[in-house]
Amino acid sequence: MLQKPKGTYDIYGDKTLEMLYFRKLAEVLMDKYNAKYFETPIFESSELFHRGVGETTDIVSKETYDFKDRGNRNLTLRPEGTAGIVRSFIENKLYAESLPLKIWYLGPMFRYERPQAGRYREFYQFGVEAFGSNDPIMDAEVIGIVVNLFKILGLKGVSVNINTLGDKESRENYRKALVKYFKPYLKDLCDDCQRRYEKNPLRILDCKIDSDNEIMKKAPKMIDYLNEISKKHFDKVKEYLDVMGIDYKVNSNIVRGLDYYTHTVFEVQADIKGFGAQNTLAAGGRYDHLVEFIGGPSVPGVGFALGLERLFLALQAENIDIKEKICPDVYIFGTDIEQKGNVLSLANDLRMAGFNVDIDYNGKSFKSNFKYADKIGAKYIIIIGEEEVKTRVLTIKNNITKEEYKIELDVVINFLDEKLGEEDED
Ligand code: ATP
Ligand code: MG
């Protein structure tokens, strides 16, 4: 039997309900921020990710799905959303329109990782990118989106961790300090860290293997290498978070896996008991040089991405149910095969009048039809027979209370409107 590729999963049943609910919630929330929905290709030229995400990151060095198409082009399944959005922002010259521009996306990402709970090879991210403001107010605004999202969902066990990487100058000073500090300890670090030491020593702090190492804990802190501008930026971010009543912790070990961040970086962790190792729900930061780096003008940006699988696990851990089942308002069947046309025509009219309708396609028996209507959760059942067609009066059954109504065909829509409207008010 053919099976799905390792590390992937199918979305159906309850998973569909979660996914659709989340998408709706994201749409409503993003409208409140005047953020615009974006879709970019699932695959892009490999070069975009190698340049944009950075050669020294795990994502690009070990996790991408790279392939050649039949025209011999080097393509990569997107491992994250930011690079593609930035590419599109530049290619479509959106920088020439009114900035700031807030963008959101929701879709699958692909990384060749070891699959485990909360870690897949195809997974879904919801993300936001805000272009065109280097003001710390935008950093706070973006962090606020994640916090508000969790608030709306009722998720309580989350904590916001922030840090700053400073501007170019501060970062360079810090880099030098790290190089000096780690030099005598190099042989004690993992192979990856030794490689990082050469290419991007900041990444060492992001290491999952060496993170509990004493050497790591005593490493110089970015905070001590910030210049005035960087310090001021970070102070303002904290001030604006305070203004919104957002709790956060400053955590100097957050450096993020991507090469393009400047100033603020942040992660939102699940602190739920027994949640497991994959507890970073969302992560993001400011990337003031990325647009330029990918070939556009100098436009600052700040954003985040949130993993939906981990969010759903967190909701489950706190017993929060977001599955919103949509059931048919009406199920229609005919007493015999001759009525199929009438069934179809009434269903069509009712759908166009705004109702969710399902019908009997297979010519089931009376009993099976009632069973089926129960299974799909139909609220009302309409049966059409010769008698109904002749008298133009329908028998409509409330499938929950089992009450029966005789309703003239011409006023069926009014009747259902009234009945289903009443239910909504409950
Ligand atoms: P991690 O340290 O867990 O590997 P990351 O730093 O690689 O995460 P980002 O690239 O910042 O993660 O992605 C943002 C979010 O996307 C993560 O916080 C997580 O919720 C989600 N995510 C990342 N990789 C995966 C994956 N393989 N499967 C499911 N969700 C993922
Ligand atoms: Mg990762």
Which residue has its alpha carbon closest to ligand 1 atom 26? Answer: 119
Q: Which ligand does the CA of 311 lie closest to?
A: 1
- Helix %, strand %, coil % for the chain, to 5? 45, 20, 35
Please report which confidence band the pLDDT of residue 189 belongs to, taking 50, 70 and 90 as the band edges. Answer: confident
Verify whether ligand 1 is closer than 6 Å to residue 87 (CB atom).
Answer: no
Taking residues 316-339, what's their average pLDDT? 94
Query: How big is the CA angle at 316 (ends 313 and 322), to the nearest 5 degrees?
Result: 105
pLDDT tens column, 258-275: 667 899 999 999 998 878
pLDDT-derived band of residue 51, with 50, 70 and 90 as boundaries?
confident
Q: How far is CA 169 from CA 131, 136, 205, 361, in A?
A: 22, 18, 19, 70
- Segment among 158-162, 256-260, 409-413 with least mean pLDDT: 256-260
Distance (Å, rounded) from C-alpha 313 to C-alpha 303?
Answer: 23
Q: Which two tokens stand for residue 401?
A: 């209370």
pLDDT of residue 259: 61
Q: What is the pLDDT of residue 96?
A: 96
C-alpha of residue 307 to centroid of ligand 1, in Å: 6
Count of H-run helices and E-run strands, the chain: 15, 16
Does residue 120 have its Cβ closer than 6 Å to ligand 1? Answer: yes
- In this structure, what token pair is assigned to residue 6? 């390792």
Write out pLDDT tens, residues 98-127. Answer: 999 999 999 999 999 999 999 999 999 999
Assess whether the C-beta atom of 309 lies below 6 angstroms from ligand 1. yes
Mean pLDDT within 333-358: 97
Distance CA 381, CA 133 (A): 56
pLDDT at 274: 78
Domains and CATH numbers, the chain: 14-167+227-317 (3.30.930.10), 330-425 (3.40.50.800)
Total number of residues shown for the chain: 426
CA 176–ligand 1 middle distance (angstroms): 28
Q: What is the distance between the alpha carbons of residues 136 and 147, in angstroms, rounded to a whole number?
A: 17
The pTM (predicted TM-score) of the whole model is 0.90
Is residue 254 very low, low, confident or very high in pLDDT (cuts 50, 70, 90)?
A: confident
Tokens of 248: 């956060």
Ligand 1 center–CA 126 separation, angstroms: 11
Q: Looking at the predicted structure, is the pLDDT value of residue 212 above 80?
A: no
